């Protein structure tokens, strides 16, 4: 086929589609060494967040306990104020029992606060250590990812350009030919056109399936402007005029 034929446009369209496919796959696949970098960084971030959450939970629990102790202390104070007005020994004993129960509740909460304070001291140190080391870890991660992100941006721009060119080409190609191209491409991994490869002076093969072409078929390809299909893989055979 001479330059500028419908098959030239179709072959270019195929190249664009395959290029978009390769680059899209490349964008979705993080390089192995960066996969480990990403995992290490996310682990550092997770440990930092967990330390902060642990400290926050302990602080919140301590505030709850302090509030409960305040309420219980007020309750105890009321019981103590009631003692002088008690008239019977039975009422007096019951009131003392109530006071003892409240005191036990206060002591239980005070013991828990002491334990929490130890945890808070440890978690504060852990949070401080993570806060001190994380900026360097983040900077190292960003530095290692910088090149890959730049490549991602380049790939994205190239994909957009290829898609735009493909849209323009599609408008110039006969609809029935384009439809046949798409049907074959869907069944053949995106490769609907196969170059004719010369393997001898008068011998050629299909570049997709490597099956030798019949001499008459090769002659037809050279002379015809209509699509001719490989007898083996049924792809459209593309002859660019080269020997």
Q: What is the pLDDT of residues 7-49, one digit of tens each?
A: 999 999 999 999 999 999 999 988 888 999 999 999 999 999 9
Quickly state the pLDDT bin for 221 (edges 50, 70, 90): confident
pLDDT reported for residue 223: 82
- Given a contact cutoff of 8 angstroms between Cβ atoms, the answer to whether 229 and 181 are in contact is no
* pLDDT > 90? residue 234: yes
pLDDT score, position 86: 86
Mean pLDDT calculated for residue range 213-235: 89
The CATH code belonging to domain 1-28+174-243 is: 1.10.287.1490
Other Cβ atoms closer than 10 A to 152: 15
Residue identified by tokens 């609907």 is: 192
Element (H, E) at 53: helix 32-82
CB 187 within 8 A of CB 214: no
- pLDDT surpassing 90 at residue 112: yes
Contact 193/181 with Cβ under 8 angstroms? Answer: yes
Question: Per the structure block, which two tokens stand in for 62?
Answer: 């301590």
Q: Where in the chain is the domain with CATH 1.10.287.1490?
A: 1-28+174-243, 31-161
* Predicted pLDDT at 2: 39
pLDDT tens digits, 20-30: 999 999 999 88
Say which CATH architecture domain 31-161 belongs to.
Answer: Orthogonal Bundle (1.10)
* pTM (two decimals): 0.62
Residue 224 has pLDDT above 80, yes or no: no
- 185 band by pLDDT with thresholds 50, 70 and 90: very high
CB < 8 Å & 24+ apart, contacts of 156-161: 156/27, 158/19, 158/23, 159/20, 159/23, 159/24, 159/27
pLDDT for 96 beyond 60 = yes
235: left (phi over 0), alpha (psi -120 to 50) or beta: beta
**How high is the pLDDT of residue 24?**
96
Q: What is the pLDDT of residue 242?
A: 59
């Amino acid at each position: 086929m001479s330059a500028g034929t419908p098959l030239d446009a179709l072959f270019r369209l195929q190249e664009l589609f395959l290029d978009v496919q390769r680059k899209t796959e490349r964008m979705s696949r993080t390089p192995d060494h960066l996969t480990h970098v990403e995992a290490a960084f996310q682990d550092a971030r997770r440990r930092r967040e967990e330390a902060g959450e642990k400290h926050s939970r302990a602080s919140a629990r301590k505030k709850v306990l302090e509030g409960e102790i305040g309420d219980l202390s007020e309750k105890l104070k009321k019981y103590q104020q009631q003692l002088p007005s008690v008239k019977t020994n039975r009422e007096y004993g019951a009131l003392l029992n109530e006071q003892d129960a409240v005191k036990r509740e206060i002591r239980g909460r005070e013991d828990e606060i002491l334990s929490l304070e130890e945890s808070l001291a440890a978690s504060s140190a852990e949070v401080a250590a993570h806060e001190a080391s994380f900026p360097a870890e983040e900077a190292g991660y960003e530095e290692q990812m910088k090149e890959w992100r730049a490549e991602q941006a380049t790939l994205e721009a190239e994909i957009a350009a290829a898609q735009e060119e493909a849209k323009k080409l599609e408008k110039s190609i006969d609809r029935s030919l384009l439809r046949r191209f798409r049907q074959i491409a869907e069944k053949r991994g995106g490769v609907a056109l196969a170059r004719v490869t010369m393997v001898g002076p008068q011998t050629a093969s299909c570049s997709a399936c490597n099956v030798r072409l019949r001499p008459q078929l090769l002659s037809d390809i050279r002379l015809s402007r209509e699509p001719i299909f490989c007898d083996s893989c049924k792809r459209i055979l593309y002859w660019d005029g080269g020997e």
